[in-house]
């Protein structure tokens, strides 16, 4: 049952709450404002299925905690938190969309299948993971059978039974999804002609020569674009401009409230005043606890583990030396060499961990009695660890913790094993309980130092913050609907733009912590509005204007005009360069003559295949390579408009591959590739078809 307690947080079945969707009937609907906002308990809907904020946040917290455990980080920046939120959102969309298809198709998992997943010869991977014996690496059938027996007799309201039932439901839903995707993948079919075409596309070679004129050779200033040029390109490529979610852009000006030189000098002086007391201190741990912003435990460290500027000083100074103030990582610091000694590089140890329930003295007494049993030879350390230690991971190995270097254990434990000697039995108390430790071995020998560090972060003073805020407030007060740019220029401020923000973005342009500002842009602002107040991002005060709205769906020409300008320019340049080549081709019969008349260079290319249309040193040129494979050898081509420029080529020869002898293998390879694509393709197709309402911009 331990696995249920330990992993209960991972076995989650969210209860989807039902709530009414509120229509803001009295709100004037203007450009950029959503009519349907959703209830205060929902982050969205998928085909009418509501996604509650509770369920969403629970899953986000799970992934955040999992990431923290894996990386050892205590906090995440807004950008990474936003990425996790987006990931959870997409997972929940996929789950609800696929579940609808499963229900529609009547896909089910029978009792026999469920039993086979749980206790069959090859149980589900989740079962195997939870019930694998760490010592043997094999499935612990006895533990599995015992859990099933306990679950069968447990009452319906038993929390452990509820967790187990939720876990089994998770397995069943996973199996249904697996069956659904198998149906999709099994519908992929490759015939012999497909296999033959694919084989030739990957193995038939072409050798050719070409002359090119890059679009960059025509200055932008020599090209005049018309509205028809833009519209023609837009109409032809309209489907490329499908916006999956609403995007907004803001213009903003920033007022720097970062610490001034005066602030820096004041913090440095404050730290410097601590030096006399720091030198005189006889309890450096207590001094750090009282005076430092960062309460770091005092531990012995090897050379190279300290900051470089401190490392050199401390390894060449006498005990009691105080260094600083010095600036590092946003703070002024002073460092004191508490002690230095020569100690082992690594230790092999084992321990018995005794919990402290209500009486610490009783836990220490038990540790002392176990120590005496070991010293008398009546019991071995391994025997007592197996039956007495609450650290089950090491208890099954006789308490063995393996070999570890400095920094791997908590300070009190580390001091005991690195400052003792081989064979010592020591008793220490930590936040986890009372440890009976045996030092089994020590290796290596090097100098280590114990350094106490007091730090004071460099933060802006009230005077600095007030001055920056006042400037921002004054600028805000000067704004009207249409004078943002004018006022910014008059005040000598640099206007910056944060483009294409999503409703859940945590940052905006150069502003790293801008969630509140993004929320304003999506929920309270209409196009052209400026902020109703001064916003804060770290040490920066911000006034912004909502500059653009790109709605979900096919974007308008105006929304993408700036984006498509380079491509439209290239099309216009292509006409000029194509005419240049056509004039040359009127009197040229060889590729060398074309190069001479156009001022270009003939470039030979060898062994290009249709499936990889990359011209070495140039770019991926799909249209050019496709045209080449449809051409005849020794015949000058017409101009071809490519991605990077206009080309004229002549094919030297084609090299056909050996005949395809294993059509079945080729078909299998193609089927495998297409099946892998099918899973993502079907999910994207279902998302496009689904009715999705996203309220995250308001809720998060």
Reduced 3-state DSSP string for 624-666: HHHHHHCCCECCCCCCEECCCEEEEEEEEEEECCCCCCCHHHH
Distance CA(653)–CA(88), nearest Å, equals 53
Do 95 and 35 have their domain in common? Answer: yes
Residue at 329 is within a domain? yes
The number of beta carbons lying within 10 Å of the beta carbon of residue 381 is 22
**What residues contact residue 167 under an 8 Å CB cut-off, 6+ apart?**
4, 11, 126
- Give the domain CATH number at 423: 3.10.50.40
Tell whether 415 and 279 lie within a shared domain: no
pLDDT for 40 equals: 64
- From residue 138, alpha-carbon distances to 129, 130, 483, 683 in Å are 10, 11, 72, 36
**CATH number of the domain residue 466 falls in:** 3.10.50
DSSP at 294: S
pLDDT average, residue stretch 327-337: 96
Task: For residue 283, give the 3-state DSSP assignment.
Answer: coil
Per-residue pLDDT tens for 482-508?
999 999 999 999 999 999 999 989 899
Together in a domain, 29 and 124: yes
pLDDT confidence of residue 347 = 95
pLDDT at 620: 94
Decide if 629 contacts 610 (C-beta within 8 A).
Answer: yes
Cα–Cα distance measured from residue 506 to residue 515, given in angstroms and rounded to the nearest whole number:
5
d(CA 260, CA 465): 10
Could you tell me if residue 419 is inside a domain? yes
The DSSP annotation for 665-696 comes to HHHHHHHHHHHHHHHHHHHHHHHHHS-EEE-H
71 and 91 belong to one structural domain: yes
**pLDDT for position 319:** 95
Residue 683's pLDDT band (boundaries 50, 70, 90)? confident
Same domain, 252 and 270: no
Q: How do residues 240-260 score in pLDDT, each as one tens digit? A: 999 888 999 999 999 999 999
CB 698 within 8 A of CB 38: yes
Are 18 and 109 part of one and the same domain? yes
Residue 553 CB contacts under 8 Å (≥ 6 apart), including other chains: 242, 243
The pLDDT assigned to 38 comes to 45
Q: Do residue 238 and residue 253 come from a single domain?
A: no
Comparing 534 with 167, which gets the higher pLDDT? 534
Q: What is the mean pLDDT of residues 55-78?
A: 82
**One-character DSSP codes across 374-434:** HHHTSS-HHHHHHHH-S-HHHHTTTTEEEEEETTSS-HHHHHHHHHS-TT-EEEEEETTEE
The residue assigned the tokens 């085909």 is 47
In contact, 28 and 59? CB cutoff 8 Å: no
Q: How confident is the model at residue 19 (pLDDT cuts 50, 70, 90)?
A: very low
Please check whether residues 32 and 119 belong to one and the same domain. yes
Kindly tell me the number of DSSP H helices and DSSP E strands found in the chain.
25, 21
Same domain for 599 and 627, yes or no, is yes
The residue among 443, 471, 490 that closes a domain is 443
Specify whether the CB–CB gap between 422 and 404 falls below 8 A.
no
pLDDT tens-digit series, residues 514-558: 999 999 999 989 999 999 999 999 999 999 999 999 998 899 999
Residue 178 lies in a domain: no
> Strand locations in 418-526, DSSP E?
425-430, 433-443, 446-457, 496-501
694 domain residue, yes or no = no
- Identify whether the C-beta of residue 627 lies closer than 8 Å to the C-beta of residue 640: yes
Q: How many CA atoms lie within 13 A of 469 on its CB side?
A: 14
Residue 252 DSSP one-character state: E
| Contacts with 424 (C-beta within 8 Å, 6 or more apart), sequence order | 437, 438, 439
In the predicted model, is pLDDT for residue 106 greater than 90?
Answer: yes
Q: Is residue 310 part of a domain?
A: yes
| Angle of CA points 455, 458, 464, to nearest 5° | 155
Taking the C-alpha atoms of residue 160 and residue 154, their distance in angstroms, rounded to an integer, is 8
Dihedral of CA atoms 670, 672, 674, 675 in degrees, nearest 10, equals 160
Percentage of residues in the chain with pLDDT exceeding 90?
A: 67
Neighbours of 139 (CB within 10 A): 17
* Domain's final residue, options 524, 551, 578: 551
* Residue of 58, 96, 86, 468 lying closest to 263 (CA atoms): 468
> Is pLDDT at 70 greater than 70 in this prediction?
yes
Residue 170 within a domain: no
Mean pLDDT of the chain: 89
Cα separation, 554 vs 450, whole angstroms: 63
Q: Is residue 474 part of a domain?
A: yes
Strand partners, 193: none
148, 85: one domain: yes
CB 268 within 8 A of CB 381: no
Q: Are residues 332 and 394 in the same domain?
A: no
pLDDT band at 34 (very low <50, low <70, confident <90, very high): very low
Please report the DSSP string for 573-602 in residue order.
HHHHHHHHHHHHHTS--SHHHHHHHHT---
**Tens digit of pLDDT for each residue in 375-423?**
999 999 999 999 999 998 898 899 999 999 988 899 899 999 999 999 9
pLDDT digits (tens, 9 = 90+) for 272-309: 999 999 999 999 999 999 999 998 889 899 899 899 98
Give the domain extent around 65.
Answer: 2-165
Q: How far apart are CA 628 and CA 624, in angstroms?
A: 6
Cα–Cα dist 414/428, whole Å: 10
When pLDDT is cut at 50, 70 and 90, the band that residue 237 belongs to is very high
> Residue 609's beta-bridge partner residues?
205
Residue 15 has pLDDT above 50, yes or no: no
pLDDT at 23: 26
Same domain, 254 and 269: no
Name the helix (H) or strand (E) containing 541.
strand 540-550
In this structure, is residue 38 part of a structural domain?
A: yes
Provide the domain count of the chain.
Answer: 5
């Amino acid at each position: 049952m331990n696995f249920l307690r330990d992993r209960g947080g991972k076995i989650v079945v969210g209860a989807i709450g039902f709530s009414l969707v509120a229509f803001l009937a009295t709100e004037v609907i203007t450009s950029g404002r959503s009519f349907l906002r959703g209830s205060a308990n929902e982050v969205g809907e998928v085909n009418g299925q509501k996604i509650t904020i509770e369920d969403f946040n629970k899953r986000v917290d799970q992934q955040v905690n999992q990431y923290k455990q894996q990386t050892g980080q205590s906090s995440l920046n807004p950008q990474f938190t936003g990425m996790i939120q987006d990931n959870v959102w997409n997972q929940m969309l996929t789950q609800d969309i696929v579940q609808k298809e499963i229900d529609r198709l009547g896909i089910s998992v029978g009792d026999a299948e469920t039993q086979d997943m749980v206790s069959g010869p090859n149980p589900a991977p989740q079962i195997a993971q939870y019930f694998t014996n760490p010592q043997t690496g094999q499935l612990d059938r006895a533990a599995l059978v015992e859990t099933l027996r306990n679950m069968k007799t447990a009452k319906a309201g038993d929390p452990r039974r509820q967790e187990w039932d939720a876990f089994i439901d998770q397995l069943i839903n996973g199996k249904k999804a697996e069956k659904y995707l198998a149906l999709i993948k099994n519908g992929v079919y490759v015939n012999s002609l497909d296999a033959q075409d694919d084989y030739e596309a990957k193995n038939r070679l072409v050798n050719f020569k070409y002359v090119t004129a890059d679009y960059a050779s025509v200055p932008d200033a020599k090209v005049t674009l018309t509205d028809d040029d833009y519209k023609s390109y837009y109409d032809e490529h309209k489907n490329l401009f499908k916006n999956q979610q609403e995007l907004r852009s803001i213009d903003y000006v920033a007022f720097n409230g970062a610490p001034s030189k005066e602030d820096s000098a004041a913090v440095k002086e404050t730290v410097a005043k601590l030096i006399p007391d720091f030198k005189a201190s006889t309890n450096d741990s207590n001094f750090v606890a009282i005076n430092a912003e960062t309460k770091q435990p005092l531990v012995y460290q090897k050379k190279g583990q300290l900051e470089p500027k401190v490392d050199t000083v401390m390894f060449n100074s006498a005990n009691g030396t105080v260094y600083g103030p010095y600036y590092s990582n946003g703070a002024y610091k002073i460092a004191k060499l508490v002690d230095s000694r020569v100690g082992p590089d690594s230790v092999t140890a084992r321990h018995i961990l005794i919990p402290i329930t209500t009486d610490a003295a009783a836990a220490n007494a038990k540790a002392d009695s176990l120590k005496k049993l070991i010293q008398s030879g009546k019991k071995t350390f391994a025997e007592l660890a197996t039956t007495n230690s609450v650290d089950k991971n090491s208890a099954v190995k006789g308490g063995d913790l393996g070999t570890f270097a400095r920094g791997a254990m908590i300070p009190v434990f580390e001091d005991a094993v690195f400052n003792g000697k081989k064979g010592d039995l020591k008793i220490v108390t930590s936040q986890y309980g009372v440890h009976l430790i045996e030092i089994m071995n020590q290796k290596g020998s090097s100098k280590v130092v114990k350094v106490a560090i007091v730090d004071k972060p460099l933060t802006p003073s009230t005077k600095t913050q007030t001055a920056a805020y006042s400037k921002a407030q004054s600028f805000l007060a000067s704004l009207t609907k249409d004078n943002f740019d004018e006022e910014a220029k008059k005040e000598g401020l640099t206007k910056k733009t944060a483009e294409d923000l999503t409703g859940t973005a945590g940052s905006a342009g150069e502003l790293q912590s801008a969630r509140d500002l993004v929320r304003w842009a999506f929920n309270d602002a209409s196009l052209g509005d400026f902020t109703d107040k001064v916003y804060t991002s770290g040490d920066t005060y911000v006034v912004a204007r909502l500059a653009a709205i790109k709605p979900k769906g096919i974007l308008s020409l105006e929304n993408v005009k700036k984006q498509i300008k380079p491509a439209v320019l290239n099309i216009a340049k292509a006409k000029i360069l194509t005419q240049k080549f056509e004039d040359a081709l009127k009197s040229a019969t060889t590729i060398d003559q074309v190069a001479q008349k156009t001022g270009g260079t003939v470039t030979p290319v060898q062994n290009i295949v249709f499936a990889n249309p990359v011209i070495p040193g140039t770019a991926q040129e799909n249209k050019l390579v496709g045209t080449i494979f449809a051409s005849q050898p020794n015949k000058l081509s017409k101009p071809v408009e490519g991605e990077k420029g206009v080309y004229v080529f002549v094919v030297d020869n084609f090299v056909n591959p050996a005949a395809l002898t294993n059509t079945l293998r080729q078909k299998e390879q193609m089927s495998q590739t297409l099946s892998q694509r099918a899973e993502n393709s079907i999910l994207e197709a279902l998302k496009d078809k689904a009715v999705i309402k996203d309220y995250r911009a308001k809720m998060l």
